Structure 1
Amino acid sequence: MALPLHFNSAIIEEFRTNAGKLGGPFEGWVLLLLTTTGARSGKEHTTPLGFVEDGDRLLVTGSAGGSDRHPDWYRNLLVNPTVTVELGTDTWRATAVAATGAERDELFAKVVAAAPGYADYQKATDRIIPVVALYRIPEDTYTPPNRLDALADELIRIHDWLRTELAALSEGLRSRTAPGLTVELRRHCLTFCSAMAVHHGGEDAGLFPYLARTFPEKAGAFDRLRAEHATVARVLDELQALLARLDEAEPGALRAEFDRLRVELENHFAYEEEQVIPLLRAGS
Structure 2
Amino acid sequence: MPMSFNQAIIEEFRANAGRVGGPFEGGDLLLLTTVGARSGQEHTVPLGYVRADGLLLVVASAAGAPEHPQWYRNLLARPVVRIELGSEVFEAVAVPAEGARRNRLFEAVVRVAPGYGDYQAHTARVLPVVVLERPEAQPREVATLADKLLEVHAWLRAQLRHVRTETEAHFAAGPAGEGRPPGLGLQIRQHCLALCEGLTHHHNGEDAAIFPALARSHPQLRETLVRLGEEHRSVGRIKDELVGLLAGIGVAEPERFRAELTRLSAELEAHLDHEERELLPVLAGIPFPPRP
User: Quick check: 132-141 or 158-167, which moved more?
Assistant: 132-141
Gap runs ≥5 in structure 1: none
**Contact kept in structure 2, 1:93 and 1:139, CA below 8 Å:** no
RMSD: 3.3
**1:109 — aligned with what?**
107
User: 1:29-40 counterparts in 2 under 5 A?
Assistant: 29-40=27-38
Decide whether aligned partners of structure 1 residues 249 and 9 sit closer, same or farther in structure 2, where only a CA change above 3 A counts. closer
**2:197 — aligned with what?**
194
**CA displacement, residues 205-261 of structure 1 (integer Å, 9 cap, x when unaligned):** 21100111123343332222222212222322334456779887567x765543232
User: 1:153-164 counterparts in 2 under 5 A?
Assistant: 153-164=147-158
Please state how far the C-alpha of 1:110 moved relative to its aligned partner.
2.8
**CA displacement, residues 34-90 of structure 1 (integer Å, 9 cap, x when unaligned):** 111222332222111111113453111111111112212112222222211111121
Decide whether aligned partners of structure 1 residues 216 and 270 sit closer, same or farther in structure 2, where only a CA change above 3 A counts. same
Please state how far the C-alpha of 1:173 moved relative to its aligned partner.
2.4
**1:152 — aligned with what?**
146
Please state how far the C-alpha of 1:194 moved relative to its aligned partner.
3.0
**Equivalent residue letter for 2:196:** C
Task: Give the aligned length.
Answer: 275
In structure 2, the residue corresponding to 1:175 is in which secondary structure? helix
CA distance in 2, matches of 1:16, 1:6: 15
User: 1:85-96 counterparts in 2 under 5 A?
Assistant: 85-96=83-94
In structure 2, the residue corresponding to 1:133 is in which secondary structure? strand
**1:83 — aligned with what?**
81
**Contact kept in structure 2, 1:173 and 1:254, CA below 8 Å:** no
1:52 aligns with 2:55: no
CA distance in 2, matches of 1:188, 1:81: 8
CA distance in 2, matches of 1:144, 1:196: 22
Superposition TM-score, scaled by structure 1 size:
0.81
**Equivalent residue letter for 1:86:** E
**1:220 — aligned with what?**
223
Identify which of 250, 256, 272 aligns with 1:269: 272
**Equivalent residue letter for 2:217:** T
CA distance in 2, matches of 1:132, 1:107: 9
Please state how far the C-alpha of 1:184 moved relative to its aligned partner.
4.9
**Contact kept in structure 1, 2:79 and 2:95, CA below 8 Å:** yes
In structure 2, the residue corresponding to 1:16 is in which secondary structure? helix
**Contact kept in structure 1, 2:32 and 2:82, CA below 8 Å:** yes
CA distance in 2, matches of 1:163, 1:140: 13
**Equivalent residue letter for 1:211:** L
**Contact kept in structure 2, 1:68 and 1:126, CA below 8 Å:** yes
Structure ranking higher in helix proportion:
1
CA distance in 2, matches of 1:123, 1:103: 19
Please state how far the C-alpha of 1:167 moved relative to its aligned partner.
2.2
**1:124 — aligned with what?**
122
Percent of pairs identical after alignment? 48
Decide whether aligned partners of structure 1 residues 114 and 231 sit closer, same or farther in structure 2, where only a CA change above 3 A counts. farther
In structure 1, the residue corresponding to 2:127 is in which secondary structure? coil
**CA displacement, residues 102-139 of structure 1 (integer Å, 9 cap, x when unaligned):** 44333333322322221221222222322221112358
Identify which of 1, 12, 15 aligns with 2:13: 15
Gap runs ≥5 in structure 2: 174-178, 288-292
**CA displacement, residues 159-203 of structure 1 (integer Å, 9 cap, x when unaligned):** 233223322322222223679995653454244223222321221
CA distance in 2, matches of 1:230, 1:271: 15
Decide whether aligned partners of structure 1 residues 82 and 254 sit closer, same or farther in structure 2, where only a CA change above 3 A counts. closer
Decide whether aligned partners of structure 1 residues 245 and 256 sit closer, same or farther in structure 2, where only a CA change above 3 A counts. farther
Superposition TM-score, scaled by structure 2 size:
0.79
CA distance in 1, matches of 2:95, 2:31: 17
Decide whether aligned partners of structure 1 residues 211 and 139 sit closer, same or farther in structure 2, where only a CA change above 3 A counts. farther
1:135 aligns with 2:133: yes
Identify which of 157, 165, 169 aligns with 2:163: 169
Decide whether aligned partners of structure 1 residues 69 and 246 sit closer, same or farther in structure 2, where only a CA change above 3 A counts. closer
